Amino acid sequence: MPLDRLAVLAQEADAPAVARDALILARRIAEGRFYVACIGQFKRGKSTLLNALVGVPVLPTGVVPVTSIVTILRYGPELAARARPRDAEWIRVDPRMLADYVSETGNPENAKGIEVVEVFVPSSLLARGMCLVDTPGIGSTLEGNTAVTRAFAPQIDAALVVLGGDPPVSHEELALIADVAVRVDTLIVVLNKADRLSDAERREAKVFTARVLNERLGRATTPILEVSATEQLTGHGPPRDWSGLVTRLESLARDAGGEILESAERRGLKLLAGRLLQELDERDGALTRPLQESEQRIAVLKQCAAEAERSMDDLGALFAAEQQRLARTFAAHRDKFLAQAVPAARAELAAGLASAGERRRSALRRHAFALAQDIYRRWVDRWRAEEQPAAEQIYREATQRFVELANSFLERLVKSGDAALLTLPHALGPEAGFRTRSRLFYTEMLTLTARSPLAWLLDQLRPPGATRQSLQQSTGDYLEHLLTSNAARIMNDLNERVLEARRGLESEVRACLREVYASAERALDDARAQRASGESAVRIALERIQRLRREVHVLSIANEGGLRDASHRIDRRT
């Protein structure tokens, strides 16, 4: 098998990452498994849809974004699951405990280091080798979710695109769909949660979605299927296009599975062979060039990276100005919120105290402060829920110019001619949102609820009406402090997440730049060691590189011929 052979060549070339990826893909192809990935924005109901398709509610679902790890549903005679940590072997897990591995709640920021989870399901839909893949929703506030899905994109063989009605399709979804469509031929598009939309809303959503997809992809997509995974699971509601969706997937597994596997093998071989040839070229150059020339070349590469770093510093100043503007915007939003919330919350507190009835002074005081705490939390929770999506949208708009400028100098570096620079990404994707989790916690300023001995004495001496009036004033002031302090905490949390997102984006670009010369330095270190062993060692190393390169080229040429044949078949079919 070509992929097995490529893995052997990669091991011989001391390229373990290429060898590992080739073996994983080879094993999947040999087992006849291909990936149909469920992709889309968070909260589209992707996990619920997959549960309905396999007939088992095995994937965790919830009212907040749940899936944070790629989860593969594959055929098995009985329900089972396993997880693969990074650089480790598979471990068996209880299918009922999947949330402990694949959700942000059970595995925050992937603290367990899980690469992928596989769930074995006795579903006839999966019996022919098709695997349904649950991917983290893009565009959520959970950092890394979008990155995980984009990193998995090269392994996708076909896509089940899950959209909704509000909005029908987002900017982030369009970018991901376009990225996947470059690699795969099969896109099945569904409008989920159709039960939540009126007939007019569904028609409008489908027309709009079809138009923007066709414009973005430059080709017509298949008809959009209306489904409701919830209705299908509960057995209540009309069938809509559910049978059409199942038929499409069954047909894909029955009629196109072989071609999809061939395409996956060729696509993967092309990518992996290219990576291996780059490694070999770097090692060859380090051995054949004079050491001084290699050192000078690395110095030039470092200079290119340093110039780009200086450009990054200039962009950083631009971004800092944007960050200050965002901070002013958040402050204005906070002031507007407080102007509305403080008087309304005070009125709500007064009404609550008026309806409290006759109570002992101590019990009334406890009730008043507990009521103030309940009121402030409802107000700030509501404002936070409204403000965070708006803040992320403002952040995305602020980073758009930064990403455009960063892409411009990445493109200039790639076009400068040095092969080492070809490993740089040609473009950064748009920011989907904040990259870090919120670390916000509210303060309840409990010291303000304590009474001094004098205040206690005055409460005992005042008439009941005066005590209520005094208590209303003091708890009203306390409520205002809670609203003001916690609104400031929300604003500061947003500002901090903007700063950390900015640092993450800059770090991503700088890491790409450092990798430009890191590979060349590794090759030069190996070359020095081989030269120190004598000319014979250098000659043997070069002969091995040339032999490996010839064998990789032979695999690549055979693969290109297969790609052309596949392309002709697709052309005839369409």
Please name every residue paired with 37 in a beta bridge, in sequence order, or none if there are none. 133, 159
Is the preceding peptide bond at 77 cis, omega within 30 degrees of 0? no
What structural domains and CATH numbers belong to the chain? 34-280+554-573 (3.40.50.300), 294-531 (no CATH)
Element containing residue 132 per DSSP (H, E): strand 130-134
Burial of 515 (0-12, 13-18, 19+ CB in 10 A): middle
Residue 569 is encoded by which pair of tokens?
């078949």
**Max CA separation in the chain (angstroms):** 104
Burial of 511 (0-12, 13-18, 19+ CB in 10 A): exposed
Q: Comparing C-alpha atoms, which of 170, 148, 3, 9 is closest to residue 548?
A: 9
The string of DSSP codes covering 248-277 is: HHHHIIIIIHHHHHHHHHHHHHHHHHHHHH
- What is the residue-level pLDDT of the chain in tens, covering all 574 positions? 789 999 999 999 888 888 888 998 899 899 899 999 888 877 788 889 999 999 988 888 764 445 568 899 999 999 999 998 877 888 999 988 888 888 877 887 778 888 889 999 999 999 999 999 988 765 443 444 456 666 677 788 899 999 887 677 777 778 778 878 887 888 999 999 888 888 888 888 888 888 888 888 887 778 899 999 988 888 888 889 999 999 999 998 888 778 888 888 888 898 889 888 888 887 888 888 887 877 777 777 777 667 766 766 666 677 777 778 888 888 899 999 999 999 999 999 888 888 876 666 667 778 888 888 899 889 988 888 888 777 777 777 767 766 676 666 666 666 655 555 555 555 555 555 555 556 667 777 766 665 555 555 555 555 655 666 777 788 888 889 889 998 888 888 777 777 776 676 666 666 666 665 666 777 777 788 888 888 888 889 899 999 999 999 998 888 776 544 544 443 433 3
C-alpha 175/C-alpha 173 separation (Å) is 5
